[in-house]
Amino acid sequence: MNQNANRKFKIISFCVSFLFLILLFSIFSKINIKQKAQVITAPLEKVGTDIISGKLEVMVKDDFDDNTKSGINYFIDDGKKKTPFILDNYSDLKLASFSGSTIKSIGYYDQGKFVGNIQSYLVNKQAPTNNVSIPVNHKVLTLLLLSEGTSKEPFVKSDAQKVIWNSPLLNL
């Protein structure tokens, strides 16, 4: 009897554990599905007519081997999240009313007609920029990072100041 009871207990425990795992799997599956659903995939027509507000951010990936593999990603930061969107020569997209900027309206192409260069906005986010009358020092935090397994550092830390920060580019 004891052995049977023990066996029944094990079977019930197994079933409960199994159901619990299914429940957990189900919950995580729903979370994953919910996360996937948050990916923004605006149809082209919608992108074509949207006016988007927020701070424009641009990230450039450079492939010096092949310019076609380089990429430019655009985001709008509305203070809560950074939303990626399409902005290229093929988008009839006009951006307007950036918050936190004196620029009230800026765009790229609107119905195939050039509206304005976003670059001016991006440059003007630097401070100070235009009409620099005295030398302005740009202070940079440099972090040197080495992937484990790399047999040696390309230069020792004490040389970094010389290798990077006395390099020809600073004179360029």
Partner 1 sequence: MTEQSYGKITFSSDVYGWITIPKQASTTPVLYLSQTQIANYIATNNINLNNYDHVLLVYYCAVDCKGANSTVGKVNNVVNGQNYQLSVSTISGSQGNAGKYDFLSPYYQIKTQTSFQWRNIDAYLAHEFGHALGLMHANAHDCGNFAITAPSGCGYIEFGNVIDTMGFNKGEGLHFNAFFKYLLGWINPSDIVQVNSSGVYNLSPLEIASGTKMLHINQPALSDISYDVEFRQPIGFDKDIALNKDGVIIYRVVNGPSMQYDDAKLIDASPTISPWFSDTNPVSLSQSTQGIFKDDRRGIKIGPITSGPNGSANVAVDISTPPACMQMTPVIGSLFINNSASYTIPVGVPANIFVTAYNDAYPTCVGNATFVGNFMVTGGIFNFTQNKSIAPEAFGNFYTTFTPSTVGTYQLQFKVTNSINNTIANKVVYIIVQ
Q: How far is the CB of 156 from partner 1 (least distance, A)?
A: 8
Q: Is residue 43 reached through a cis peptide bond, with omega within 30 degrees of 0 on the bond before it?
A: no
Residue 37 binds to partner 1 (criterion: CB under 8 A): no
**Contacting residue, 46, 67, 80, 102, with partner 1 by CB under 8 A:** 67
Rounded (5°) CA angle 45-37-71: 60
3-class secondary-structure state, position 93? coil
In the complex with partner 1, which residue's Cβ is closer, 26 or 161?
161
User: Among the candidate windows 9-17, 21-29, 30-38, 63-71, which touches partner 1 by CB under 8 A?
Assistant: 63-71
**Which residue from 121, 126, 124 is spatially nearest to 108, judged by alpha carbons?**
121
Rounded Cα–Cα distance for residues 5 and 141 (Å): 68
Question: Residue 40 phi/psi, 5° resolution?
Answer: -85, 120
Q: Which of 44, 84, 97, 101 binds partner 1 (CB under 8 A)?
A: 44
Q: Which of 2, 4, 49, 150 binds partner 1 (CB under 8 A)?
A: 150
Residues 73-102 that bind partner 1 (CB under 8 A): 77, 89-92
- In whole angstroms, the minimum distance from the beta carbon of 50 to partner 1 comes to 14
**Which of residues 2 and 67 has its CB atom nearest to partner 1 in the complex?**
67
CA atoms of 116 and 56, how far apart (whole Å): 14
CA–CA separation, 31 vs 167, rounded Å? 50
For the segment 102-131, give every residue that binds partner 1 (CB under 8 A). Answer: 106, 111-120, 122-126, 128-131
